[in-house]
Structure 1
Amino acid sequence: MKIVEDYQKLWNLTDKEYIYLLEGFYFHGNDRIKKIINQKGYCAVVIPDNPRYALYFKDAKRISKDQWDSFLDSCNILPSCF
């Protein structure tokens, strides 16, 4: 029996966010879920909503914007770049 992760629940995604991640895979060949899972360290996925916002991850676990900004501060990267 194959075990399938419920990433929507695991990452606390809204339906809209989850559909966006799945659409990237099914319609554009851009597997953002695989990228998030395989990324070691930090990763951001921009949701093209109005206004735009991003989902932030570290080692395949969702993190808050404050944690993301703290990471950027430690690297001397401007938050406005992301």
Structure 2
Amino acid sequence: MHVAAIPVTIVGDFGLARWQADGQTAEETRVIGTFGYLAPEYTKTGQITEKADVYAFGVLLLELLTGQRAIDLSRKVGQQYLPDWVTFKP
């Protein structure tokens, strides 16, 4: 008997946003997540919203479209994060 295994792709590290019972967003006292995918407002305020997930997904799409990594320390300062590199104007 032959059973064909069908691979299933799973995208991880999304779903950081957690909603509280009262509708308030979760707030952390320390930044948790994968650098390069963290939304700037989350790193500044510690407030986790669903917008942080949208930002992370956007960085993933930029990686797919550009072939670049989310963080590349070999790029010039100010361009090391992919969104900064994409929007850089010389």
After TM superposition, the score normalised by the length of structure 2 is 0.29
Higher strand share: 1
* Greater RCO structure (CA 8 Å; 6+ sep): 2
